[in-house]
Structure 1
């Protein structure tokens, strides 16, 4: 363990083996830092926050800050961060609220670029990239392997499904289906995240079937409810389509992001 003399560590903080805390960092009460966590310098881990092993936090990031919610009156709430994350400069992660789950949860193996913000009670999966100044409102839910472009913003209670991509500057006021590709202000659904699918090893035949299912679901004949049932029946053997259908059918707080809207 290596702690710079200028760092301030609360007596109740728990530090695992191999933790490195650089100059002028502040580690507050109720903080738990896993093995090999590295706070580079000038990092604030405010309170009641757990940071998983091998996570690196860069200068001037503030994690575990109070939720930005007028109803918060100092109640005990938490932030839980998984392992092997990279959190770059000026990123801000807020704790949960009593009005929500009470916990903001962040997964593992994520990259949060400069100025990324995670609001209270949000849930972020694994292998997520949030580019510079991407913002999540309170209670947002982000699936695994999502890419959020620079300066985009996801509305409070919004959902972005697994494997989706959100373009830079997009205002995401509607839920984004798994593997979807959205951009614009306000963001519209423009198709599937083909780049992400190819990077994950999907072959041409698999992508062709997914595109056919997408067209039937969003561009086919009949009302949307009927197209959902028809697509589920025709392409039910594709797990990705099953995930999209389940996402659409889930009881949601925000409307669905659709093509042309």
Structure 2
């Protein structure tokens, strides 16, 4: 199968289009772009910069992929945006290339859903099966784990980490790291508990969820110091892969503040 390019589209010399790629009317594809097999640009889309899309992605009108980073230090360096396979990228969504200081790469995984006007900033690392709902925003350098959902109009501050399977509620302002499986909401966002709805939808067993809930209660109890509770949780639930993932996430970067439950006054 050869690529199908609408006569009103502009595909620059040097662009590489895989088998079955569809470039719809009024799209612009830059000279350093690679589109994987079966990817479809519906219409009125700009893909520019050193940008790679994997296979079977669908991109809707007025999305901008591979635009320069929104960073005052960027001087036109040939940094990259790499997007995986089977993503749905809806109208007006934007994803920027990286910066030299940030490693030169913005990466987006596979099987994601990026809704209207969502934004992935420069140097982000976004996992698989991620959903950014309407106008959700990721600042530069964010790390977003697999199966994360970011609610509508929520904003994740630059350099923030969000662990796998976490849920960020609509309108949340997230300025602190979110543990794997956590559910946060608010301005500024605080930890509401575990993302129980997401865990059930993804087939986690009742036993696993109950273990995680017990570990959560121990970790975020009022008694003792946080370090003491962390050590106790490790000792008590060492056999749980999910609890271990939460602990490893917390210990991985002690320089970042952590979203915690809101304390009653």
Normalised by the length of structure 1, the TM-score is 0.98
User: What is the match of residue 99 of structure 1?
Assistant: 101
Distance 1:252 1:31 in 2: 38
- In the alignment, what sits opposite 1:108? 110
Whole-angstrom distance in 1 between the partners of 2:255 and 2:81: 22
Q: Please tell me whether the aligned partners of residues 182 and 189 of structure 1 are also in contact (alpha carbons under 8 angstroms).
A: yes
Indicate the residue corresponding to 1:130 in structure 2: 132
CA displacement, residues 56-81 of structure 1 (integer Å, 9 cap, x when unaligned): 00000000000000000001100000
CA distance in 1, matches of 2:223, 2:34: 54
Q: Distance in 1 between matches of 2:81 and 2:44?
A: 19
SS at match of 1:183: strand
SS for the counterpart of 1:247 is: helix
**Deviation above 3 Å: which 4+ runs of structure 1?**
none
Which residue does the alignment assign to 1:157?
A: 159
Name the count of aligned residue pairs. Answer: 261
TM-score norm. by structure 2 comes to: 0.97
Provide closer, same or farther for how the CA distance between residues 164 and 36 of structure 1 changes in structure 2, counting only shifts above 3 A: same
- SS of 2:220's equivalent? helix
Which residue is equivalent to 1:31?
A: 33
Partner residue in 1 for 2:239: 237
> Residue in 2 aligned with 1:172?
174
1:210 to 212, 227, 230: 212
- Pairing 1:219–2:231 present: no
Following the alignment from structure 2 to structure 1, what is the Cα–Cα distance between the partners of residues 179 and 204? 18
Map of 2:43 onto structure 1: 41
Q: The residue matched to 2:107 in structure 1 has which SS?
A: strand
User: Matches of 2:254 and 2:96 in 1, distance apart?
Assistant: 23
Q: Is the 8 A contact 2:49 2:78 kept in 1?
A: no
Aligned to 1:200: 202
1:219 aligned counterpart, secondary structure: coil
- Distance change >3 Å, CA 52–CA 216, structure 1 → 2: same
Aligned residues of 1:189 and 1:259 also touching (Cα < 8 A): yes
**CA positional deviation for 1:202:** 2.0
Aligned-pair distance for 1:205? 2.3
Which residue number corresponds to residue 60 of structure 1? 62
Distance in 1 between residues matched to 2:31 and 2:150, nearest whole Å: 32
Report how far residue 29 of structure 1 moved.
Answer: 1.8
Take 2:49 and 2:75, find their aligned partners in 1: how far apart are those partners?
15
Is the CA contact (8 Å cut-off) linking 1:35 and 1:52 kept in structure 2?
Answer: yes
The aligned residue for residue 250 of structure 1 is 252
Q: CA RMSD in A?
A: 0.9
